[in-house]
């Protein structure tokens, strides 16, 4: 599995070219957008607790309620994430986490609003397509 990942990264870097930082930032934002979009909306607290970190995993929870005041919600969380992305994003470990105690239950289908395979699980299956789309948008 690690060999495949290394090959995928080599392919990614070769196609991203000099725009590797731009592509990396776009992929991070697209992954964040995907998990937020799939997240259930009740009070907006769950969407508001998707947190981003660079090299260090965020801990704790927030009091942010990113609800349907912005359509599907999540726009504030995405804007906050965008502000945290480093200019030199490539080669860093990017964390997207939700530390609310019930996040695991929601991932495993506890809410009728969630997709059957969870927010993260489904986004993982979309990851390669998100990377390819980012590369093609940055390097048309």
Domain count within the chain: 1
Q: What is the mean pLDDT of the chain?
A: 83
Phi-psi region of 80 (alpha: psi -120 to 50; beta: other; left: phi over 0): alpha
**What is the distance, to the nearest Å, from the Cα of residue 16 to the centroid of all Cα atoms in its chain?**
19
Residue 37 domain boundaries: 2-138
DSSP state of 17: G
Q: Per-residue confidence at 1, pLDDT binned at 50, 70, 90?
A: very low
Burial of residue 83, with CB atoms counted within 10 A of its CB: 0-12 exposed, 13-18 middle, 19 or more buried:
exposed
pLDDT in tens, 66-98: 775 545 668 889 999 999 999 999 889 999 999
For the entire predicted model, the pTM comes to 0.83
Mean pLDDT computed over 29-55 = 90
Position 51 scores a pLDDT of: 96
Closest by alpha carbon to 66, among 50, 88, 55, 52?
A: 50
pLDDT digits (tens, 9 = 90+) for 108-138: 877 776 666 788 999 999 998 998 899 888 8
- The predicted pLDDT at position 101 comes to 94
């Amino acid at each position: 599995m690690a060999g495949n990942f290394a090959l995928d990264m080599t392919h990614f870097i070769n196609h991203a070219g000099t725009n590797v930082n731009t592509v990396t930032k776009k992929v991070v934002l697209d992954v964040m957008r995907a998990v937020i979009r799939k997240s259930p909306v009740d009070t907006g607290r769950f969407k508001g607790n998707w947190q981003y970190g660079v090299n260090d995993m965020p801990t704790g929870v927030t009091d942010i309620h990113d609800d349907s005041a912005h359509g599907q919600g999540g726009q504030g969380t995405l804007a906050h994430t965008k502000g945290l992305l480093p200019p030199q994003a490539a080669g860093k470990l990017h964390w997207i986490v939700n530390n609310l105690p019930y996040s695991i239950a929601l991932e495993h289908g506890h809410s009728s609003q969630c997709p059957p395979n969870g927010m993260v699980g489904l986004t993982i299956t979309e990851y390669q397509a998100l990377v390819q789309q980012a590369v093609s948008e940055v390097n048309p």
